[in-house]
Amino acid sequence: MENIEPKTEYHLKGIELIRCTINTPEGAPALNFNFSISLQTQLDVMPRTLTVIVNVDVISDDQKNVFGSISVNNVYQIINFEEAFKLDAQNQYEIPPKLLEAIGSTSLSTTRGIMYSLFKGTFLNNALLPLVDLPKLKQY
């Protein structure tokens, strides 16, 4: 992938489907699909990777029932690790926010595609992961 910032070069190294469950509800089919989405970004120094773990639960309006869930690891290889990530005063790596947003968005899109292909033909066929504008979250 091309640089999203002048100094960061990375590519998608791997996609791992960790978990997928579908829980068919009893009685009338679900009308509304709500989504509980978790994005966790991990930095692994030795292999020089960033991993975005996306967990999505498709839940009922009252949030008591989980109709389906999926968990996907999106692994990104950072080519110019030492150049792109500097250590701060506390010896922690500074990750450029724009990079976090870019890989977060890419990971959500990847997960959306995997969700669609796995839920296709089931009652969750229309449970499409909505678009999320990650940079705008800061405004909330």
Partner 1 sequence: MKNSKPARKHSSAFVNQLLAETSDVEKAQINNRMTLATRLDDLIAAKRWSKSEFAAKVGKSPSEITKWLSGTQNFTIDTLTEISLAFNLSVGELFAAPRPKIINHIHLLVKAIKSEPIPFNESVGKKTIDSTSGTFNSNYPAQNFSLSTFSNAQS
Which residues contact partner 1 (rule: CB under 8 A)? Answer: 29, 31-48, 51, 61, 63, 87, 91-93, 95, 100, 104, 123, 125-126, 130, 132, 134, 137, 140
Residue 102 CB, shortest distance to partner 1, in Å, is: 13
Of 20 and 95, the one with the shorter C-beta distance to partner 1 is: 95
| Contact of 111 with 70, CB cutoff 8 Å | yes
Of 20 and 41, the one with the shorter C-beta distance to partner 1 is: 41
Q: Give the integer Cα–Cα distance in Å for 50 and 91.
A: 18
* CA dist 69 → 24, 52, 121 (Å): 12, 17, 16
Residue 125 CB, shortest distance to partner 1, in Å, is: 6
| Contact of 94 with 85, CB cutoff 8 Å | yes
Residues belonging to the chain: 140
Residue 6 CB, shortest distance to partner 1, in Å, is: 21
